[in-house]
Amino acid sequence: MSIVSSREVELSVNVYEGDMDFVDATYRHVLGQLAGRPDVQRLVVDRSTPSGRFSASSGERRLDACVSRLLDEGLVDAVTDVDWGELAVRRTMERYFGDPAAPTRCSSGTPIYQYLAAIDACASPYLLHLDSDMLLHLGDGARWIDEGIDHIQQNRHVAIVTPEGGPPKATSTSDWIRGPRPTDHRQRWHASEGVSTRIFLMDVQRFRSRAVPLVPAEPGETLERTLTHTFHLRGLERHSLNDDHNYALHPRRHNENHRRYLPGLIALVESGRAPYRRTGFRWDMRTEGRHFAPWWLAIQRERLWPGR
């Protein structure tokens, strides 16, 4: 049996058929930003019938073709199909909730079991999870991962770390008028109020030994809320990096603008040229209606005057 390094990191990305309009492009983008840092690259494939707002009709053949293509190109080391057999589900929910009959999805259809199956599949000490639509700008070539591991090892109450939530953004009238300015010197890491399932770098053993079994705050809630509640109860924290050169962005809607302009959106994020004057939360990429205008203008500007 091989001995893994104490710093071995596994990249884990959950995919299902509803992701097929974008996952090939976003996954390749993520690998480029991570610059070869993950030691293992795993796709966790959910073939169950989606429900609620996650319902989709892309077709399983597209999913199979996408996974096969990434495997053939050597961009994936392992593929794990989410096991929906009754015994597997009951065993996993017992392990992570202490209740074999715990809900596998929240009341609105948001996945729970799929995330736990991905964590369960991880054999490395550290798990870097990303949702399949996440976009990254890692100005330091993913060195934040090793910095994050150091931070976890030096702080026994930290179980998860994340990069900055989004690029700099105007938040005041002065910001809108004056434009971006150098940020002041902030503390390198800060404790975040909640736990996100969109992206996280987890100390797997610390999570399993100190957060499990998870404790929901109320019936029907999302896994994010359960994790947040459990962390508060157990004295655990998620810490987020304060660094405008290393951040993650989440497309808020998978709409026509997202599909049509995805290459341009990825190029903006990779080059660090996301629009400073935009609406919404810093970590969200808004592609709906008038909120998309700053992104569209930035794409056109980059097309006409690249790098300017």
> So what's the pLDDT on residue 118?
96
> So what's the pLDDT on residue 218?
96
**Tens digits of residue pLDDT in 262-290:** 999 999 999 999 999 999 999 999 999 99
**Tens digits of residue pLDDT in 5-19:** 556 999 999 999 999
> So what's the pLDDT on residue 54?
52
Rounded CA separation 52/54 (Å): 5
Helix axis angle for 86-97 and 113-121, nearest 10°, is 80
**Tens digits of residue pLDDT in 142-159:** 899 999 999 999 999 999
> So what's the pLDDT on residue 59?
60
The pLDDT-based confidence of 75 (bands split at 50, 70, 90) is: very high
Q: What are residue 92's phi and psi, to 5 degrees? A: -70, -45
The residues, any chain, with a CB within 8 Å of residue 119's CB and separated by 6 or more, are 12, 96, 127, 129, 202, 204, 207
**Tens digits of residue pLDDT in 190-221:** 999 999 999 999 999 999 999 999 999 999 99
DSSP assignment, residue 105?
A: B
> So what's the pLDDT on residue 2?
38
- Is 9-246 in CATH node 1.10.260.40? no
> So what's the pLDDT on residue 48?
87
**Tens digits of residue pLDDT in 86-124:** 999 999 999 999 999 999 999 999 999 999 999 999 999
Which residues is 130 bridged to in the sheet? 13, 199
> So what's the pLDDT on residue 85?
97
The pLDDT-based confidence of 180 (bands split at 50, 70, 90) is: confident
> So what's the pLDDT on residue 216?
97
> Hey, which bits of the chain come out as E strands?
9-16, 40-46, 78-81, 126-131, 135-138, 158-162, 164-165, 189-192, 199-203, 237-241, 246-251, 284-285
Q: What are the structure tokens assigned to 24, written together?
A: 């090939």
Domain spans, the chain: 9-246, 257-304
The residues, any chain, with a CB within 8 Å of residue 42's CB and separated by 6 or more, are 10, 11, 12, 13, 76, 77, 78, 79, 80, 118, 121, 122
Q: Cα separations (Å) of 145 from 42, 183, 202?
A: 17, 22, 10
Q: With 50 as the cut, is the pLDDT of residue 1 above it?
A: no
pTM for the model: 0.92
| First and final C-alpha spacing in the chain | 53
| Burial label, 279 (beta-carbon count in 10 A; 0-12, 13-18, 19+) | middle
Residue type, 283: W
> So what's the pLDDT on residue 53?
54
Report the residue count for the chain.
308
| Percent of the chain predicted with pLDDT > 90 | 83
**Tens digits of residue pLDDT in 19-71:** 999 999 999 999 999 998 999 999 999 998 766 555 555 567 899 999 999 99
The pLDDT-based confidence of 229 (bands split at 50, 70, 90) is: very high
Q: With 60 as the cut, is the pLDDT of residue 233 above it?
A: yes
Residue with token string 């990096």: 241
Q: Cα separations (Å) of 171 from 58, 75, 157, 175?
A: 38, 38, 32, 6
